[in-house]
Chains A and B, each alone.
Chain A
Amino acid sequence: MATQSITINVNGEARTAEVEDRLLLVHFIRDNSGLTGTHIGCDTTHCGACTVLLDGTAVKSCTVFAIQANGREVTTIEGMEGEALHPLQEGFMEEHGLQCGFCTPGMIMSSKHLLDKNPTPSEEEIRWGISGNLCRCTGYQNIVKAVQYASNKLQETTIEGGE
């Protein structure tokens, strides 16, 4: 199996490895980089548990080859917390937007992509925005509230920052 050396910037840290062409990005993240917050729920792009940001766009990392991410920037759940929790992380906790926690990292990353594009989504837009992510525990209602919480908090921060 052909291999090549690639470098992916994961959460701001350059990670270089000699990988098989067929290696999936999710395995590069989990196995090569040891970042196990990104989960695998289906291998077939349906469940969204493996969602990460690739150059700021949400992708399902089970359907992206690691070599496709060569030279690019990947953000995973581990890269969401800065000096404080990201408002989405806070929102999921405050609004009880998670139960078993398995879909949560992917949900948070999809929601990040949504809020980056649309900072004040309606409930329907949130539901469509996370429709590529399956959750079996919460019935989605509190996830919607978590995204609304984050949207509100980010708006407040923006307004305060602008003053």
Chain B
Amino acid sequence: MSKCKTSAEVGGMGHSIKRKEDPRFIRGQGNYVDDVVRPGMVFMDLVRSPYAHAKIKSINTEKALAHPGVAAVITGETLKEYNLHMMPTLMSDTQMVLPIDKVCYQAQEVAAVVATDRYSAADGVELVEVEYEPLPVVVDPHKATDPDAPIIRDDKEGQDSNHIFHWEAGDRSGTDEIFENADVTVKEDIYLPRIHVASIETCGCVSEFDSVTGQLTVWMTTQAPHAIRTVLALVAGHVGLQEDKIRIISPDIGGGFGGKVPVYPGYVIAIAASVVTGLPIKWIEDRRENLQADSFARDYHMECEIAADKDGTLNGLRIKTLADHGYADAAANPSKFPAGMFSICTGSYDFKNAFVEVDGVYTNKPPGGIAYRCSFRVTEAVHAIERMVDMVADEIGMDAADIRMNNFIPKDAFPYKSPMGWEYDSGDYHGALKLAKDKIGYDELLKEQAEKREKGELMGIGISSFTEVVGAGPSKDFDILGIKMFDSSEIRIHPTGKVIARFGTKSQGQGHETTYAQIIAEELGIPYTDISVEEGDTDTAPYGLGTYASRSTPTAGAAAAMACRKIKDKAQKIASHLLEVAEEDVEWEVGKFSVKGVPDKSVTIQDIAFAAYTNHPQGLEAGLEATHYYDPPNMTYPFGSYIAVVDIDSGTGEVKVRRFVAVDDCGNIINPMIVEGQIHGGLTQGLAPALFEEISYDDEGNITGGSFMEYLVPTAVETPHWETDKTVTPSPHHPLGAKGVGESPTVGAPPAIANAVVDALSHLGVRHLDIPITPEKVWRAIHKQDAA
């Protein structure tokens, strides 16, 4: 957007206004869940399983209960009395809250200790004696469906294997036909390992129950407070919790990235414990619990194939995937597709046909998964296609930029229907890659690389031209447990022209208090400083599905625009009354209605607001407010082209990202400063899995990446200086032309970096490396070649 419609004082779309959230955060005055203190509050801590799969022979709580300060020990047997020992997952599977007779993953919750303070609760955890009998484990998903594999979910009737689901999309026979007649086919197994969002705030809650009124209030680290309330009412209605008496408050949230969408057992145990004991209970997990037991992302084993012509024209794509879901299919997946958005895997390219199939299996690992800062499974899809396109280019000796340019969906083909049935709303892929190439100096880099190769130095250039699919979503395909994925905005204008606006979403750092105010400022001409935004309290906010999948701007942002337009309709009636002319004789310009042809004769939106309470026309309701529930007609499709330059130390295998140019297109921009900040953060969360992060397990199912000692979140030192730029291709169906942006870089960055590393090593015969591309992997790749 080159020009803003509003002045800087009004602060509508396109202004980089400073965030309204920041004054409290820079003073340490944020209010996070662990900051909540209630009168008489006690603390809960959890006993967790050291085994990945074991029978529980006994749980002895005597010593723990004898410890001073310990008030109660809760086991699966306690919860079973209330039929709360099992709970449904968001994918209509089931999972244990606390076990009765066996555990199915390491770090699984086994019992809960409630005590007067954190330290006594931790003492109590040490004193709970659990006798286990280890069982054979399933760690490798490829062996999960072997005939002799132990059945993990023997609690489920009719579950006679570890297979969860088979799902397919696209045209199998049509795609097979393309492969039979192809000039060139390329095939590779690509694994995206388990990773963890590791938001700096871990998960937790404070649960308070009033046994007289039946009121339950839960302060909770959740990205989706309303959905949590409804799920709780459905699951615990039989013990007297009714939805009108359940209040979920999601206060300031210290990062989410999808990790705060699921319902973890700890929340349910804390809620149950507060109902049973009548005491307000605080439960805050520590970092190891967070990494070891909370939902993971990825863990996708993909067999990928592309069929192409000799000239590099991409024709067919086939991907067969094995999805390791751990002990339960507890995916935070807001679609009706078991593999989420995975079938977007034809990416930015105009394939003739494609086919994907996904099989989900159980293993003895924590249940999941979640998205890790993307629409569920889109990062897997983008990684597969962006790696594979490079492999085709390598196979036929074509430049990585040229093959993309030659196969992009052309700008004039939008709206574009993909072979998988997605309708891409808008795009200009050639424009984004051209800008990225120009910005980084692509041709000079190719020359530099050739010179360095002569000298034996390792340098690589990697491109990723991704298409995201965000803003879940249209109600026909998108829901959580049947609740449709609309979102909402309720806007009230007070008599003095000040605004309170409430939303069904919940910011975890995205800056909604600022950007939603800017949307309203844009639509109504009311200064953003006069607009207060609230989210996260189910007693006051309109019903919505929360914030993830870059959906806040596409859904709730659109709802705000639509609610403002309803307000404007009413304002026009009041304006015509005040100006004493017919309704059709007044016209809107930013912040006021004036008489057509007589611009001096006008009333401001503030005048109109006052009149709405003091001088409203007869026959019209008093007040000036509106609510809108927005069901998007389509997803939005942000896109971009990223180019990474890496230098590799052949002695240590260390990869250094020397430069990284990111050209993003998220449609019309609400706050450029916030968009750029989100891109920096998203890129860093793309760098992280590309080079550093992995949650892995040994053969016994012991986690080997369960603390920040092993799980390497990048620091400021490993993170490069990001170079960002943009193109602007508005969404044709979103009322503001916006698309959402926070996740694009996490989706687009990993293959750019992986492609750059492989490019640096390609002359040594390296064709693919799985992420994270650690120094060890690189060193082995280099030296195996030397040995050969």
Q: How far is the CB of A107 from chain B (nearest CB, A)?
A: 10
Produce 1/0 per residue, B116-147, CB < 8 A to A: 00110000000000000000000000000000
| B-side contacts of A93, CB under 8 Å | 18-19, 22-23, 26
Docked complex Cα distance between A134 and B684 (Å): 12
The residue from A43, A47, A99, A126 contacting B509, defined by CB atoms under 8 A apart: A99
Interface membership of B715, Cβ < 8 A: yes
Interface membership of B762, Cβ < 8 A: no
A140 & B719 in contact (Cβ 8 Å cutoff)? yes
The residue from A101, A103, A142 contacting B677, defined by CB atoms under 8 A apart: A142
| A-side contacts of B34, CB under 8 Å | 30, 36, 39-40
Docked complex Cα distance between A109 and B287 (Å): 21
| A-side contacts of B719, CB under 8 Å | 127, 139-141
- Interface CB pairs A-B, < 8 A, 11: A37-B29, A42-B287, A44-B707, A90-B26, A101-B26, A102-B32, A102-B254, A127-B717, A133-B715, A139-B719, A143-B716
Docked complex Cα distance between A30 and B681 (Å): 28
Please give the number of chain B residues whose Cβ is less than 8 angstroms from any Cβ of chain A in the complex.
Answer: 58
Interface membership of A14, Cβ < 8 A: no
Produce 1/0 per residue, B595-635, CB < 8 A to A: 00000000000000000000000000000000000000000
Given A36-B35, A40-B34, A138-B680, CB of A131 within 8 Å of CB of B22: no
B673 & A96 in contact (Cβ 8 Å cutoff)? yes
A96 & B200 in contact (Cβ 8 Å cutoff)? no
Interface membership of A38, Cβ < 8 A: yes
Docked complex Cα distance between A43 and B286 (Å): 7
Interface membership of B535, Cβ < 8 A: no
The residue from A37, A38, A47, A89 contacting B287, defined by CB atoms under 8 A apart: A47
- Within 643-686 of B, Cβ neighbours of A (below 8 Å) are at 673-674, 676-678, 680-685
Residues of A within 8 A of B (CB): 1, 20, 22-23, 27, 30, 35-44, 46-47, 49, 76-78, 80-81, 85, 89-90, 92-94, 96, 98-105, 108, 123, 126-128, 130-144
Docked complex Cα distance between A38 and B722 (Å): 29
B681 & A101 in contact (Cβ 8 Å cutoff)? no
| A-side contacts of B508, CB under 8 Å | 100
| A-side contacts of B717, CB under 8 Å | 127-128, 131
Docked complex Cα distance between A39 and B509 (Å): 16
| B-side contacts of A123, CB under 8 Å | 721
Q: How far is the CB of A61 from chain B (nearest CB, A)?
A: 13
- Within 667-715 of B, Cβ neighbours of A (below 8 Å) are at 673-674, 676-678, 680-685, 707-709, 713, 715
Interface membership of B338, Cβ < 8 A: no
| A-side contacts of B118, CB under 8 Å | 27
Interface membership of B3, Cβ < 8 A: no
Given A47-B708, A102-B254, CB of A141 within 8 Å of CB of B674: no
**Chain A residue nearest in CB terms to B685:** A136
Docked complex Cα distance between A88 and B715 (Å): 20
Docked complex Cα distance between A35 and B23 (Å): 17
A101 & B21 in contact (Cβ 8 Å cutoff)? yes
Q: How far is the CB of B612 from chain A (nearest CB, A)?
A: 35
Interface membership of B30, Cβ < 8 A: yes
B26 & A78 in contact (Cβ 8 Å cutoff)? no
B677 & A99 in contact (Cβ 8 Å cutoff)? yes
Interface membership of B257, Cβ < 8 A: yes
Interface membership of B735, Cβ < 8 A: no
Does more than half of chain B's interface fall in helix, strand or loop, or is it mixed? loop
A101 & B509 in contact (Cβ 8 Å cutoff)? yes
| B-side contacts of A98, CB under 8 Å | 22, 25-26
Q: Which 10 A-B pairs have the closest CB atoms?
A: A37-B28, A102-B254, A100-B509, A101-B25, A139-B680, A77-B28, A46-B708, A99-B509, A139-B684, A42-B287
Q: How far is the CB of B740 from chain A (nearest CB, A)?
A: 16
B201 & A99 in contact (Cβ 8 Å cutoff)? no
Docked complex Cα distance between A143 and B722 (Å): 13
Given A20-B119, A127-B717, CB of A135 within 8 Å of CB of B200: yes
Docked complex Cα distance between A139 and B723 (Å): 12
A96 & B716 in contact (Cβ 8 Å cutoff)? no
B22 & A136 in contact (Cβ 8 Å cutoff)? no
| A-side contacts of B25, CB under 8 Å | 98, 101, 104
Interface membership of B202, Cβ < 8 A: yes
Docked complex Cα distance between A113 and B707 (Å): 27
Given A99-B510, A136-B200, A140-B684, CB of A39 within 8 Å of CB of B254: yes
Docked complex Cα distance between A94 and B683 (Å): 22
B28 & A137 in contact (Cβ 8 Å cutoff)? no
**Chain A residue nearest in CB terms to B24:** A101
| A-side contacts of B197, CB under 8 Å | 136
Docked complex Cα distance between A20 and B116 (Å): 14
Docked complex Cα distance between A122 and B541 (Å): 46
- Within 534-570 of B, Cβ neighbours of A (below 8 Å) are at none
Docked complex Cα distance between A90 and B198 (Å): 28
Docked complex Cα distance between A139 and B32 (Å): 22
Interface membership of B759, Cβ < 8 A: no
Given A102-B201, A128-B717, CB of A136 within 8 Å of CB of B26: no
Docked complex Cα distance between A46 and B25 (Å): 21
| B-side contacts of A77, CB under 8 Å | 26-28
**Chain A residue nearest in CB terms to B721:** A141
Docked complex Cα distance between A141 and B724 (Å): 12
Interface membership of B208, Cβ < 8 A: no
Docked complex Cα distance between A2 and B34 (Å): 26
**Chain B residue nearest in CB terms to A102:** B254
| B-side contacts of A101, CB under 8 Å | 21-22, 24-26, 30, 252, 254, 509
Interface membership of B255, Cβ < 8 A: yes
- Within 258-302 of B, Cβ neighbours of A (below 8 Å) are at 284, 286-288
Interface membership of B199, Cβ < 8 A: yes
Interface membership of B511, Cβ < 8 A: yes
Interface membership of B472, Cβ < 8 A: no
Interface membership of B253, Cβ < 8 A: yes
Q: How far is the CB of B659 from chain A (nearest CB, A)?
A: 14
